[in-house]
Amino acid sequence: VIVESIDHIGKGDWYEKVNYWRPAGILQCLPIFSMALFCQTQLFEIYESIHNVSLEKMNLVVRGALNICTVVYLCVGFFGYVAFCNESFA
């Protein structure tokens, strides 16, 4: 996705087509958001595998996982938006 978007970033042609809010696509995104939170069932396995487990360690693990997921989702979302800015999806 990043390689695909490099051409559009250089040209700057995507900037005029930015659509910050489009409520028509919200129902299509609902399964994506729900699957993003689906890994919460793994939390108990992770909790049991930590040596000398404490609430602070578990908070550190959860915070790190959320930060990694946020960065990945933002990068894929941004570069995907830029890469396919000229496409029309129906």
**What tens digit of pLDDT does each residue of 21-53 get?**
778 878 888 888 788 777 677 888 888 998 899
Residue 71 in domain: yes
| Residues 46/48/52/55 CA torsion (nearest 10 deg) | 60
pTM: 0.70
Is it the case that residue 68 has pLDDT exceeding 80?
A: yes
Mean pLDDT of the chain: 85
As for how many domains the chain has, the answer is 1
| Cα 9 → chain centroid | 20
> Under a CB-based contact definition with an 8 Å cutoff, are residues 6 and 78 in contact?
no
Where residue 89 falls among pLDDT bands split at 50, 70, 90? low
Report if residue 89 sits inside a domain: no
Indicate whether 90 belongs to any domain. Answer: no
Residue 8 lies in a domain: yes
What is the number of other CB atoms lying within 10 angstroms of the CB of residue 83? 19
Domain extent at residue 64: 2-83
Token pair of 77 as six digits: 């979302």
